[in-house]
Amino acid sequence: MAESLQTGGGQASGVCKERQGWTQNVVIMRHGDRIDAAEPLWLSHADRPWDPPLTDTGMIRAWTTGKRLRNVGFPVHRIIVSPFLRCLQTAAEVITALCCVVDDETHLLSMETSAGAVIDPTRVKVNIEYGLCEVFSMPAMRLSAPPKDGMWLPDVSELEALLPAGTIDHSVEPFKQQLPLWEESLAVARERYHTVIEALADKFPHENLLLVTHAEAVGVSITSHLKDVIVYEVEYCAYTHLQRQFYTENSKAVTEGGFKLLEQPSWSPILLMKLPSSS
Which CATH number do you get for residue 195? 3.40.50.1240
Could you give the count of Cα atoms lying within 13 Å of 212 in the half-sphere of its Cβ? 30
User: In tens digits, what is the pLDDT along the chain, a chain of 279 residues?
Assistant: 443 333 333 333 333 345 578 899 999 999 999 999 999 899 888 889 999 999 999 999 999 999 999 999 999 999 999 999 999 999 999 999 999 999 888 999 999 999 999 999 999 999 999 999 999 998 888 887 788 888 899 999 999 999 999 999 999 999 999 999 999 999 999 999 999 999 999 999 999 999 999 999 999 999 999 888 889 899 999 999 999 998 887 778 788 778 999 976 555 578 877 777 655
Domain residues for the domain of 123 are 2-274
Q: What is the pLDDT of residue 11?
A: 35
Q: What is the pLDDT of residue 23?
A: 93
Residue among 17, 89, 13, 85 at smallest CA distance from 47: 85
Do 258 and 243 contact (CB within 8 A), yes or no?
no
Tell me: the pLDDT tens digits for 82-116? 999 999 999 999 999 999 999 888 999 999 999 99
The residue count for the chain = 279
Residue among 70, 163, 170, 159 at smallest CA distance from 111: 70
Asked whether residue 279 is assigned to any structural domain, the reply reads no
Mapped onto helix, strand or coil, the DSSP state of residue 11 is coil
Give CA–CA dist 277/254, Å, rounded. Answer: 34
With a CB cutoff of 8 Å and minimum separation 6, the contacts of 124 are 76, 77, 78, 79, 95, 98, 99, 167
Q: What is the pLDDT of residue 219?
A: 95
Asked whether residue 10 is assigned to any structural domain, the reply reads yes
Residue among 236, 52, 216, 199 at smallest CA distance from 134: 216
Mapped onto helix, strand or coil, the DSSP state of residue 196 is helix
Q: How far is CA 31 from CA 81, 118, 131, 170, in A?
A: 10, 23, 15, 23
Q: What is the pLDDT of residue 252?
A: 80
Tell me: the pLDDT tens digits for 228-244? 888 989 999 999 999 99
Asked whether residue 104 is assigned to any structural domain, the reply reads yes
Q: What is the pLDDT of residue 122?
A: 97
Q: What is the pLDDT of residue 9?
A: 37
Q: At what angle do helices 215-223 and 186-203 cross, to 10 degrees?
A: 80
Q: How far is CA 268 from CA 19, 34, 87, 239, 263, in A?
A: 37, 20, 21, 10, 10
Asked whether residue 264 is assigned to any structural domain, the reply reads yes
CA 274 to chain centroid: 25
Q: What is the pLDDT of residue 264?
A: 61
Domain count within the chain: 1
Asked whether residue 110 is assigned to any structural domain, the reply reads yes
Asked whether residue 240 is assigned to any structural domain, the reply reads yes
With a CB cutoff of 8 Å and minimum separation 6, the contacts of 179 are 83, 130, 133, 136, 152, 153
Q: What is the pLDDT of residue 203?
A: 96
Asked whether residue 143 is assigned to any structural domain, the reply reads yes
With a CB cutoff of 8 Å and minimum separation 6, the contacts of 90 are 29, 31, 32, 54, 58, 62, 212, 237
